[in-house]
Chain A
Amino acid sequence: MTTTTALPPARTAPLPTASRPRPGAFARVAAAEWIKFRTLRSTVWTLLATVVLMVGVSVLAAWGTAVEAVDAGGGPMNAAQLLSAGYQLAQLAVAVLAVLTITGEYSTGMIRSTFAAVPRRVPVLAAKALVLSAVVLVVTVVSMALSYVATVPFHDELDVRFDLTDAETLRMTLGLPLYLVAIALLAFGIGALLRHSAGALTAVIALLLVVENVLLLVPMRAIEVVAPFLPSTAGRRVLFDDDLVATIDAATSAAHLTPWQGYGVLVTWAVALLALAAVLLRRRDA
């Protein structure tokens, strides 16, 4: 590499003397986090994978249902159901992205530069959560639009209806981006608490894929009572149509949450984990 003997000129500007954070301080931290987010190839790839997964599963679901419908002669289909068909895979992609957003800084040592630049630390956590939420929201909405377009060839055959004035359809449609944002924040909170990529990824995937699904099968009263309040079990009700919600409720004598109550439980988990992460963030050495 080339070397240089260039020297910086003497400072020209007087030192800033304000003691309070100037207005816009958070906006600057958010701008920095946005630069960090979009300048990593891994985030770009993860987002592309999320879109492909969501659209792909929607198309597969439409195709599969179309084949079945010909045999069974089913009735009209709600488009919202098609659009959210890929939520289980999408939530994994989004959770991985969310975890790496924060643990990637710890594993590389970047966090020391980050906190040296923003020694109050909590604005960093908030800015990262904001950038992550906005990106997941946009990516989900784009994926849903693409899913809709990509499944058009099956719409006639499936008698697909998409009526956003219908409360159930509106809830399911809004539910997917909201659900994925909440899952992202939950995973981000776990990442911020554990600070290690491998540990946090294992914890999040185990929670989403294993713990909740296994607990649903355990016929113990205590677990049955708790199960409906687990984050994903509660939150994903917002994605289901009223029939499915009723079917699930019929299978258990534990609490019956409405879809929005269920979503509220998921958000509560995410907020609680983030609050705990914020407290520890200030206390721990970086």
Chain B
Amino acid sequence: MIEAQGLTKRYGSTTAVDRMSFTVRPGRVTGFLGPNGAGKSTTMRMIVGLDHPSGGSVTVNGRRYAAHPAPLHEVGVLLDAKAVHTGRSARSHLRAMAATAGIGCARVDEVIELTGLGPVADRRIGGFSLGMGQRLGIAAALLGDPETLILDEPVNGLDPEGVLWVRTLARHLAAQGRTVFLSSHLMSEMALTADHIIVVGRGRVLADAPVAEVVAGGHTSTVRVRSPFSDDLVAMLSRTGASVTPTGPDTLEVRGRTAAEVGDTAAAAGVPIHELTPVERSLEDAYLQLTADEVEYHTTAIDQQTAGASAPMTEGALR
């Protein structure tokens, strides 16, 4: 269980994390989703006491991380794959980490096997690929058989098999009743791995809900309508209380009405309709819409409407 209360981190005049409050519960995989610069890594570093909050507080299993006598037994952390001395072998690195919590060599060999590092365990970490580095980081996180796992971008640099392995591992650990908190900027990965997601942008929590709910995202249903008389439809549908947004010369987006209701309204008025499509939002759409205003580094000016609801349908992103 991880509980953040008004967690804030300021660097000079920049606020990296802005009064974040959330709870990460055991028994499920909680995704921490947000664009680059949203404050995910800073938040995770504050959870494990590497960075000091400018305000607010965060506890792990009811206690400040630094107050845990043997944190490796409580919390396993993968912050980034580069938090290792490149001159040491993987086995030596893990043995040194294990020693701080009185964990023996047998357990070190176990996590090496578990993460598939066996063939490279005695090589210097400096020669590792990004994927092997990630596996080493995950091995270190598992050393103390911890109740809580915090993994920052765990699938970064992994091959497809590795990605699948991390996903299975995360779900398996959560199924055992552990708290699993993992960050990613890959929405598709989150959709497959997480049960619950916390979406952040510019240091603030934008959504904190089960995956399905974030996808539904408050917009109960959206229907895309194309008609040569779209202006007439806008007036008609608006009168019935639906929210209508023109998205092109002859296309509309209607919220708050089902496709059937929109079709009936048009038929009753004798307005021809060329397209009538219920739009299922993917997690990606929901995420882009949530974070559209919150992205720190825009590549180009994003037309928010285009970036939001009318993005190409990606049905099946939520399997």
Verify if A253 is at the interface (C-beta below 8 Å from B). no
* Chain B residue contacts of A28, Cβ below 8 A: 99-102
Task: Chain B residues near A113: list those with CB within 8 A.
Answer: 79, 83-84, 93, 97, 140
B96 and A32 contacting across the interface, CB-CB below 8 Å: yes
Those of B104-160 within 8 Å (CB) of chain A = 113-120, 129, 131-132, 135, 140, 142, 145, 147, 159
Kindly provide the distance from the CB of A112 to the nearest chain B CB, expressed in whole angstroms. Answer: 4
**In angstroms, how far is the closest chain A Cβ from the Cβ of B148?**
10
Residues on A with C-beta less than 8 A from B56 are none
Q: Which of the residues A1, A7, A42 comes within 8 Å of B168, measured between beta carbons?
A: A7
By a CB distance below 8 angstroms, the chain B residues around A16 are: 69-70, 73-74
How distant is the Cα of A19 from the Cα of B36 in the complex, in angstroms? 36
Within 8 A of B (CB), among A9-29: 10-13, 15-16, 18-22, 24-25, 28-29
- Kindly state whether residue B219 has any CB partner on chain A within 8 Å: no
A18 to B66, CA, bound (A): 13
Q: Judge whether A116 and B116 touch: CB under 8 Å.
A: no
What interface size band does chain A fall in?
A: 35 or more
In the complex, number of A-B residue pairs with CB atoms less than 8 Å apart = 151
A10 to B146, CA, bound (A): 10
Interface size on B, residues (CB 8 A): 66
How far apart sit A13 and B72, CA to CA, in the bound complex (Å)?
14
Q: Who on chain B is nearest to A108 by CB?
A: B85
Interface of A is mostly: loop
Cα of A17 to Cα of B93 in the assembled complex, Å: 27
In whole angstroms, how far apart are the Cα atoms of A32 and B129 in the complex? 25
**Min CB gap A169→B, angstroms:** 41
Q: List 11 A-B contacts (CB under 8 A).
A: A1-B129, A7-B168, A8-B172, A10-B176, A15-B74, A29-B100, A32-B98, A39-B88, A109-B82, A113-B97, A119-B71
Closest 6 CB pairs of A and B: A39-B92, A4-B116, A32-B99, A119-B66, A112-B83, A110-B85
Using A36-B96, A286-B50 as known contacts, list a sample of 4 further A-B pairs with CB atoms less than 8 Å apart, ordered by residue number in A.
A11-B178, A29-B100, A39-B95, A112-B45
